[in-house]
Amino acid sequence: MALTKVIPALQSYDVAVLADLLYCAAWDNQKRPSLSDIDAYLDDTNTDIDKLFDDVQRELKSSNAARTATKNLKA
């Protein structure tokens, strides 16, 4: 996934991009959740979606691989 597309979408709280990002991030999990599982989690009323967006963005900013892209695309 191209970070130049993902980061602005996360900043605008695009749930479809969040779902795709979470799915891609779980590529090496032994029991990888399906995209349907992730969608169900995001649609669950007990899920704090705002906190999840913030957590994902914070992790991207601290990630060595994504740090430069996130710094260059600050809103």
Has this prediction a pTM greater than 0.75? yes
User: Can you count the helices (H) and strands (E) in the chain?
Assistant: 5, 0
Q: Quick one: average pLDDT of 11-26?
A: 93
- Supply the pLDDT for residue 74: 60
Rounded to whole angstroms, what are the CA distances from 34 to 16, 23, 31, 67, 68? 14, 7, 9, 27, 30
- Supply the pLDDT for residue 55: 95
Using one digit for the tens of pLDDT, what is the confidence trace for 22-62?
Answer: 999 898 888 999 999 999 999 999 999 999 999 998 888 88
Tell whether the model's pLDDT for residue 9 goes beyond 70: yes
